[in-house]
């Protein structure tokens, strides 16, 4: 009988992605919806601390209870802008609700150059993600990152969060990021995450990398 992984998320796309990765290993993925209470975003210094706190809060709502064979997964991500000393970082969700993409662009409006390579260097940033999985009292962590830069303006499309203002670096043949000015095997051709289809984004995605890192530590069900 397949073990169930309860994924604490409101994003249907994340459920689908996790299912595609976990079902071949013998796991069934279901969405965990916590009703009547709010999962608090903790004040923390790292994404791992945030993920650990969310797991601790959600364990009480695990359908089968902590003594069952069920697993619990959470994922947390943040945008870290170099020129802003890593802001918004671990408080990205709060920053998105309060100042949004336009607020980040406003903070960086003085960092601009006619040279596109120099602009990318001045406005460098990185998406980071942590996927955490509770399994019989043990928590496994997977980490992923995607370096790039903040665009000069927001673009619309399929993305969410800060996707409309983030452009990833090109990737070489091995999937490693290249510095601005270098053209790789994989490229968005200067487009932001918000301006490309989801399947193209996943090639660069910090979330995909974090999930893959987690799966390398997870045995078959």
Q: What is the three-class DSSP state of 42?
A: coil
Residue 76 near residue 44, CB atoms below 8 Å: no
Scan for tokens 């089968």, then name that residue: 64
Q: Is 82 assigned a catalytic role?
A: no
* Alpha carbons 163 and 204: distance in angstroms, whole number: 12
End-to-end CA distance of the chain: 9
Count the neighbouring beta carbons within 10 Å of the beta carbon of residue 60.
Answer: 10
From the list 70, 76, 163, 170, the catalytic residue is 76
* Alpha carbons 115 and 99: distance in angstroms, whole number: 28
3-8 β-sheet, strand order: 27-32, 3-8, 71-81, 124-135, 138-150, 166-168
Rounded alpha-carbon distances, angstroms, from residue 175 to 83, 156, 170, 193, 204:
26, 26, 9, 17, 8
Give me the count of residues in the chain.
221
Catalytically active residues are 76
């Amino acid at each position: 009988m397949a073990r169930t992984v309860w994924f604490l998320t409101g994003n249907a796309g994340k459920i689908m992605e996790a299912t595609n990765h976990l079902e071949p290993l013998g796991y069934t993925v279901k969405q965990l919806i916590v009703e009547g209470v709010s999962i608090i975003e903790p004040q923390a210094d790292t994404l791992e601390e945030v993920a650990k706190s969310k797991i601790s809060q959600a364990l009480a709502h695990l359908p089968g209870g902590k003594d069952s064979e069920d697993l619990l997964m959470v994922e947390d991500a943040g945008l870290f802008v170099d020129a802003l000393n890593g802001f918004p970082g671990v408080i990205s969700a709060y920053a998105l609700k309060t100042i949004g993409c336009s607020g980040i662009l406003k903070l960086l409006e003085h960092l601009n150059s006619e040279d596109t390579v120099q602009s990318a260097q001045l406005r460098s940033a990185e998406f980071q993600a942590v996927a955490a999985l509770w399994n019989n009292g043990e928590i496994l962590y997977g980490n992923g990152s995607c370096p790039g830069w903040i665009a000069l303006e927001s673009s619309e499309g399929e993305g969410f969060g800060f996707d409309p203002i983030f452009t990833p670096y090109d990737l070489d043949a091995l999937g490693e990021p290249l510095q601005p000015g270098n053209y790789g095997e994989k490229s968005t051709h200067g487009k932001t995450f918000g301006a490309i289809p989801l399947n193209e984004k996943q090639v660069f995605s910090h979330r995909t990398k974090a999930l893959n890192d987690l799966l390398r530590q997870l045995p078959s069900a």
